[in-house]
Amino acid sequence: MKKLLAISLVALVLAGCSAATRYNVAVNIASLIPEAQRSQSFGSTTQNLVFPTSGSGGFLVPLPALEIVEGGRISGTVRLTNTGNTNFTGSYAVRMAPPGDTDISDNQGGDFSLDATSFDLAPGATQDLPINIQISPTVNANALQLIQRQNGFRMALRINVNSTGGSVTLSAARVSVTARPFAAIK
């Protein structure tokens, strides 16, 4: 009875739903991370920085497991500023992990990297680097499987920094997935 009523209610809510309807569910991650954990300044250093800076587990994106997810997109912007006297070089990548993995950048427990990109900034320069990662059954399929099969997933931005002084700010970050409820009918 409970199941029947629940299904009826959901059917009513989805009354505007056809076999073609897609639900786009988006989470504005940057808005959910305190500003202090999205930004870091440093002196002369060579190290890996992980954002948010609150720990090594990244940010837990609260999306329930949905077999009906067809694809998605991770987008954002990283602002780099070089206050040192040499070129600021390195690379950045989005990391993803299952919800139970507490270290998102050790390549253990299921975490993995998406779309590593290198950069090179002249002294005094400021640059906004884009993050634009497509997720589909053919592109970054491991990310799609993670979203489809886990109740929530972890995300972080890892930056390999080689600098004599500067700062990194994750100024925008958003994950969106597209689901088609009728895909559950087989």
**One of 22, 42, 77, 171 touching other proteins (CB under 8 A):** 22
Of 8 and 48, nearer to other proteins (C-beta) is 8
Q: Is 16 left (phi over 0), alpha (psi -120 to 50) or beta?
A: alpha
CA angle 115, 158, 114 (to 5 degrees): 20
CA distances from 55 to 74, 106, 113, 179 (A): 21, 13, 18, 31
CA-to-CA distance for 180 and 186, rounded, in angstroms? 13
Q: Report the amino acid identity of residue 146.
A: L
Asked if 32 touches other proteins (CB under 8 A), the answer is yes
Looking at 102-180, which runs of residues are DSSP E strands?
112-121, 126-135, 153-163, 166-179
Q: Residue 183, interface with other proteins (CB under 8 A)?
A: yes
98 binds other proteins (CB under 8 A): no
CB nearer other proteins, residue 108 or residue 186: 186
6 is a contact residue toward other proteins (CB under 8 A):
yes
| Cα separation values, 105 from 57, 111, 185, Å | 8, 7, 37
Cβ proximity to other proteins: between 66 and 159 the closer is: 66
Per-residue binding string, other proteins, 124-163, x by CB under 8 A, is ----------------------------x-----------
Asked if residue 64 binds other proteins (CB under 8 A), the reply is yes
Q: Which of 2, 138 has the CB closer to other proteins?
A: 2
Q: How far is the CB of 129 from other proteins (least distance, A)?
A: 22
Which of 62, 100, 124, 130 forms a contact with other proteins (CB under 8 A)? 62
The answer to whether 50 and 109 are in contact (CB under 8 A) is no
Q: Where are the alpha helices (DSSP H) in 64-149?
A: 141-149
Name the residues that contact other proteins, by CB under 8 A: 1-2, 5-6, 8-28, 31-32, 60, 62, 64, 152, 180, 182-183, 185-186
